[in-house]
Amino acid sequence: MKDFLFLLLVVTEASSRSHSSWCDLGCDCRGDLRFTICSRALIPQLPARVPPNTELLDLSDNHISVIPERSLSKNRKIRVLLLQNNNISVVEDGGFSQLEFLQKLDLSWNQISTLTEGFSIGLAFLRELQLAHNRLTSLDSRSFLHLDGLQRLNLTSNSIHTIQIRSFSSMSSLRQLHLEGNQLTSLRSGIFSMLRSLEVLNLGGNQISETEPGVFKPLVSMTLLNLANNHMSTVQFKTFLSIHTYSTHILLEDNPWNCDCDLQRVFRKLRSIQRLFLDDYYNLTCKEPAVLEDYRLMDVDTELCLAETVTVLIITATVVITVLAAMLMGERKRKKKKRGSTGRSRGSCRMSRTTETQLLNHVAILFYFFNSLFSSKERRLK
């Protein structure tokens, strides 16, 4: 028994030495060489020796700054490559072209500022790409040209302010797109074209103040749209009406809403659409007008429209009074110019004057009523 245990120990130690000989200093090879862990090894570049059977390579938390062309060409079996929290600023064209089976690539927390067409060469089977917390400023049609099979793209916390039309056009399989924490100010129709499989679109924490009505129309599978914490003061009904998904949840909290009657009408219509769910409607607050700042939209919407309706009625009544007064004065002048008036015509004139007086009294009462109603509603809003 002791001899057996001794033999087992020798074999294990020999195997361990054999495995370690495949790894650079600071790396740890595990799981029959399928997992190579080089995290926090303080290495400045990609390791020269990685077991050829490696499927997961963890190079996170190091000092790597450049991904050369045709990197890791001897490690075609890698499925997961973790490069987060390095100093990577340059990815040469074809840097990942040899990793034909790569499914997850994590480049978050680096210094990448541009994505060339060559960045995505060879990544047709990539399913998840993490690019959060980099220095990207714009996206165009070349940025993700070869990522046909990508399902999850994370671009959180970059400095993206421009997305050109068809930037994501090659990603027909994309299901999640995270763009929160960037510097987008507007959403133009066409930037999400071809994303027919997209389910989650996260645009929270940008500076979006304008959305074109058809921008979300291509997203026929979208179930979550996050527009919270932007600069939206109003929104067009057609913008969300164009979403034809069976069930879509929309987040709109922490925007500086201008709580006028038009906005109230838009939200009333949106809430009546059964396929759309405004999950945080009861938390929406007003920024303008100043008298309503920090009020919840749901608490002031009815008052807003009623006050506005009263205003319209007062204006209408004023116009009616003005027109009637002009007509009566014109009629009175015309009758005074008549010559040879008979007794009968004088009686008719007296009757006409009585009718005029009664009509003017009724209009004055109507004007007083509308003015009092409006003043009462205005005091309630204050």
Distance in angstroms (rounded) separating the CA atoms of residues 49 and 24: 6
Pairwise CA distance, residues 288 & 330, whole Å: 46
Task: Name, in order, each residue with C-beta under 8 angstroms of 334's C-beta and a sequence gap of 6 or more.
Answer: none
Q: What is the pLDDT along the chain (382 residues), one digit of tens a residue?
A: 444 333 333 333 333 434 455 676 788 887 777 999 999 999 999 998 899 999 999 999 999 999 999 999 889 999 999 999 999 999 999 999 999 999 999 999 999 999 998 999 999 999 999 999 999 999 998 999 999 999 999 999 999 999 999 899 889 999 999 999 999 999 999 999 889 999 999 999 999 999 999 999 999 999 999 999 999 999 999 999 989 888 999 999 999 999 998 898 999 999 999 999 999 999 999 999 998 899 998 887 665 565 555 555 566 656 666 666 666 666 666 666 665 555 444 545 454 555 556 555 655 555 555 555 545 444 444 4
Q: Does the CA dihedral 124-130-136-140 come out positive or negative?
A: positive
User: Would residue 187 be called left, alpha or beta, if left means φ above 0 and alpha means ψ between -120 and 50 degrees?
Assistant: beta
Ordered by start, the domain boundaries in the chain are 21-135
Q: Which CATH class is domain 21-135?
A: alpha beta
Residues in the chain: 382
DSSP state of 168: T
Amino acid letter, 127:
R
Q: What is the pTM of this model?
A: 0.77
In the block, tokens 């009861």 appear at: 282
CA distance 45 to 64: 5
Looking up tokens 């997992």 gives 35
Q: Which residue, 377, 370, 258, is CA-closest to 307?
A: 377
What is the C-alpha separation between 15 and 381, in angstroms, rounded? 80
| Cα first-last separation, the chain | 91
